[in-house]
Structure 1
Amino acid sequence: MKNSIFSGRLSLVGTAVVVALSAPCSTAQAGDTEFKFGGYVKTDVMFSDYSNGAPGSGAISRQFYVPGAIYGAEGNGEQVVDFQARESRFNFKTSTNLDGHKLSGFIELDFMTHADGNERVSNSYSPRIRHAIVSFDNWTIGQTWSTFQNPGALPENLDFVGAAEGTPFVRQSMVRYTNGGFQFAVENPETTVTPNGGGARITSGSGMVPDFVARYNFKTEGGAKFTVAGLARQLNIEQGDLDTQEMGYGVSLTGVIPVGSDDIKLSATVGEGMGRYMALNYANAGVLNSDGDIETISSYGGFASYRHWWNDKLRSSFTVSGFKADNDVALTGGAVNEESYSGYVNLLYSPVKPLTVGVEYMYAENTKQNGDSGELNRVIFSVKYVL
């Protein structure tokens, strides 16, 4: 009898999943559990001009703009074109009501950043986990956006990140508690520092202290949405003869401000030892001094984006973004990243709600502490269909 009941429930769940994957609404219900399937298909065609020569075809900056990664290989041509559908993604979510408690699970995958495929024959790339979380009432456990980041304030750009140097951008595992507008989280720690005198980045996952984030979300009477977040973290390296710790911190303010049918999105972040939390780890969190101790690197960045709706189907975003690290050259040497800036303008058209076609121009300039610099000009054409 028990096996019969179990088989019946399993069949019901299986049927619900099949319906969720095939129904136009991408939603199904089985008892107290709702199933949703989502994602989108996106194809990009990118024409890029690298001032220092293009990186190889498998380089990450050929997939999207990564500050610090636009310096090409000597002898390579400067102008390249890339076709890709790697940003396409799919996700699956369940939500269950259990005697007044809400239990949900969410997993999402895409195909970015991997170098395990090539463009010679099949363009086959492995899926990667973006999000994998379980939520129970006010608790969230798993991998998702860092609590220090507000993805809702990111500009509507065709580039994969958009305003990459001006925003906190981290996905990682965590335990988060939410109460109204307040959020408190302990998140996965990871330390990146520059060796004394410069050289290859030292990455360390040692130490027992997680990163701590506190955040407050609030709205104004005019409909503007703001987020204030604070980060506290211990930088820790225990490798070979190195055994050193130092504290780092950061503060970030983001906002979405309606202007009639348009909106302004903005972000401003400053701190000591933020490192990987800002600008896709354009600068490290600290540098080792002559005694082998960590000295934090201060940095700040931000962006502003104005989105204008020309009509109910046509819109444009105008975005500027920047980041700066205050390196102690006596410790870091001159070959470390110092400043990064980028600008974007696009035109997006949605003839029907699930479909968007668009074109975007972006310009980026990266400068090292010794004055070496690189520029990237890129035009992106995209087609996106939301499942």
Structure 2
Amino acid sequence: MKQAPVSIALAAALMTLAGGANAEAGKTDFKFGGYIKADVMFSDYSNGAPDSGYLSRQFYVPGTIYGKAGNGEQVVDFHARESRFNFKTTTDLDGHTLSGFIELDFMTHTDGDERVSNSYSPRIRHAFVSYDNWTMGQTWTTFQNPGALPENLDFVGAADGTPFVRQTLLRYTDGGFQFAIENPETTVSGSEVKENGSLVGYASGKDRIVGGSGMLPDMVARYNFKTEGGASFSVAAIGRQLTLEKLNIDDTVLGYGASFSGVIPVGQDDIRFTATWGEGLGRYLGLNFANAAMIDADGNLDTIGSYGGFISYRHWWNDKWRSSFTVSGMSVDNDVDITGSNINKDAYSGYVNLLYSPSKPLTFGVEYMYATNSKENGDDGDLNRVIFSAKYVL
């Protein structure tokens, strides 16, 4: 790590949204990081594979594996899109700690293609500034414990059983306690109502309406703690104002939920888990497999209940070889009398892998995963995938 003079410290702080008003009060440590990761994925979709570049061809997203009729079922994908780059600064300001962090990768975009250059735009994963106990910017939601995620080769791993959101927030941390207000976004199960080709309103249905309104942020509280045996746990609770104000709909309802997660050492091995439940969780669980609310016959919002979890056991065969065994799933309490039956019901997945690290920064691995999703009407889709990966941590 290097010490930067004032001019470089100011530039570094600006690059990470840290600002530079008082940077001259101290010196700044700065560090570059990230990793390079190449994936080769052999996939078998029970109902026909999605088109090239589609999201579920990059990683497992619950609700996207029902396939495309007319396409072949078996496909292979090569990509290095998960590779990422980050930059961090830390400044001592007369006993106060100011830090900034920004990280980019190349996932989720469909702006590139596989014909010639395989070029894909970078996207922001994290961009935040911290000052002592305060954090502001885009990072993991406080409702999620990323430290409990299993060591899988799939980009998320156990996607259907874990909270997984990055968004802009303001968070205060005091020891093991964290309190945050975070970006709100309401997703509602409903369909457009048209007359003579013009949109006149919304009603109950299977489609997704994004509210994008409401005056209250999502509010999250979390407590992290450890035991004398080295186990670490996290308990989180969330409260949300779910709001839809569009054309003929103007209603608000309360959403809430809780999540418990942890990592338990078992000798050299460990057990990782997360269990989550809520009413109106919506996008917070399973990569928005279910919506947060639905529109009833009176044009009011009713919350949709959902729950899920995963458990993963990581075993070290020796100091270079290890494996993780993971099962994950979630279920949704839909009211099909309101939403109709063509809507996501449940999702389950399982993973087993073998990883080899000849040196600490370098890992080669192979993973088999199976996922199945179903709808209330009985439709389902299955995904079998074998992933080969090479990863070098910078």
Counterpart among 61, 71, 74 of residue 79 in structure 1: 74
What's the offset of the Cα at 1:126? 0.3
Query: Quick check: 2:9–2:27 contact (8 Å CA) kept in 1?
Result: no
Question: Shift in Å at residue 164 of structure 1?
Answer: 0.2
Q: 5+ residue gaps in structure 2?
A: 14-24, 191-202
Matched, 1:103 2:110: no
Which residue in 2 is equivalent to 1:145? 140
SS at match of 1:61: helix
Q: Percent identity?
A: 72
Q: CA deviation at 1:15?
A: 11
What does 1:249-268 correspond to in 2, within 5 Å? Answer: 249-268=256-275
The 1:335/1:102 distance shift into structure 2, 3 A limit, reads same
Distance 1:289 1:317, change over 3 A: same
Q: Give the match for residue 380 of structure 1.
A: 387
Question: Per the alignment, do residues 144 and 12 of structure 1 end up closer, same or farther by CA in structure 2, a change over 3 Å counting?
Answer: closer
Q: Deviations over 1:14-58 (max 9, x none)?
A: 899xxxxxxxxxxxxx96210000000000000000000000002
Structure 1 gap ranges (5+): 1-7, 17-29
Q: 1:213 aligns with which of 205, 209, 220?
A: 220
| Separation in 1, partners of 2:302, 2:185 | 16
Q: TM-score, normalised by structure 2?
A: 0.91
C-alpha contact (below 8 Å) 1:109/1:131 kept by paired residues: yes
Once residues 149 and 314 of structure 1 are traced to their aligned partners in structure 2, the CA distance between those partners, rounded to angstroms, is 28
Aligned to 1:201, the other structure's residue is in SS state: strand
The code of the aligned residue for 1:346 comes to N
Aligned position for 1:285: 292
Conserved 8 A contact 1:43-1:88:
yes
Does residue 43 of structure 2 align to residue 10 of structure 1?
no
- Residue of structure 2 equivalent to 1:167: 162
CA distance in 1, matches of 2:104, 2:295: 37
1:332 and 2:330 aligned: no
Q: Aligned in 2, Cα 1:207/1:213: closer, same or farther, shift over 3 Å?
A: same
In the alignment, the residues of structure 1 paired with residue 84 and residue 8 of structure 2 have an alpha-carbon distance, to the nearest angstrom, of: 27
RMSD: 1.6
- TM superposition shift of 1:71: 1.6
**Distance in 2 of aligned mates of 1:325 and 1:15:** 45
Conserved 8 A contact 1:46-1:381: yes
Amino acid at match of 2:72: G
Judging changes above 3 Å, is the alpha-carbon distance between structure 1 residues 230 and 11 closer, same or farther for their aligned structure 2 residues? Answer: closer
Is residue 239 from structure 1 mapped to residue 246 from structure 2 by the alignment? yes
**Partner residue in 1 for 2:198:** none
Q: Is the 8 A contact 1:132 1:142 kept in 2?
A: yes
Distance 2:83 2:378 in 1: 37
Counterpart of 1:34 (choices 23, 26, 29) is 29
Shift of 1:10: 2.7
Partner in structure 1 of residue 361 of structure 2: 354
| AA of the residue aligned to 1:269 | T
**Shift of residue 93, structure 1, vs aligned partner:** 0.2
The code of the aligned residue for 2:351 comes to Y
CA contact (8 A) 2:62 2:373 kept: yes
Distance, in Å, in 1 between the alignment partners of 2:338 and 2:135 is 40
* TM-superposition CA deviations, 1:66-124 (whole Å, max 9, x none): 00001221100000000000000000000001111000000000000001111111010
Which deviates the most, 193-202 or 110-119?
193-202
Summarize deviations over 1:166-197 as a string: whole Å, max 9, x none: 00000000000000000000000000010144
**Which residue identity lines up with residue 36 of structure 2 in the other structure?**
V
In 2: Cα distance, 1:147 partner to 1:228 partner: 10
Matched-pair contact (CA < 8 Å) for 2:44–2:383: yes
Do structure 1's residue 365 and structure 2's residue 372 form an aligned pair? yes
Q: Residue 45 in 1 paired to residue 40 in 2?
A: yes
Q: Which residue of 1 aligns with 2:193?
A: none
Asked whether the 8 Å contact 2:6–2:27 carries over to 1, the reply is no
Could you tell me how far 1:242 is from its partner in structure 2?
A: 1.0
Cα offset, 1:204, TM superposition: 1.2
Flag the 1:188–1:11 CA change in 2: closer, same or farther, 3 A. closer
Q: Is the 8 A contact 1:197 1:330 kept in 2?
A: no
1:151 deviates by 0.2
Preserved CA contact (<8 Å) 1:143 1:171 = yes
Correspondences of 1:170-209 after superposition (within 5 Å): 170-195=165-190, 196-209=203-216
Q: 1:193 to 1:13 in 2, by over 3 A?
A: closer
- Note the C-alpha offset of 1:198: 1.7
- Asked if 1 retains the 8 angstrom alpha-carbon contact of 2:12 and 2:89, the reply is no
TM-score by length of 1: 0.93
Contact 1:253–1:267, Cα closer than 8 Å, also in 2: yes
* Cα shift at 1:238: 0.7
Cα displacement (A) at 1:9: 4.0
Q: What amino acid does structure 2 have at the position aligned with 1:58?
A: G
Residues 203-259 of structure 1: CA deviation (Å, up to 9, x unaligned): 011011000000000001111000000000010011111111000000000010000
Of the three residues 264, 280, 283, the one matched with 1:276 is 283
3-state SS, counterpart of residue 56 of structure 2: helix
Distance 1:105 1:122 in 2: 33
Which moved further from structure 2: 65-74 or 146-155? 65-74
Contact 1:44 1:85 in 2 (8 A): yes
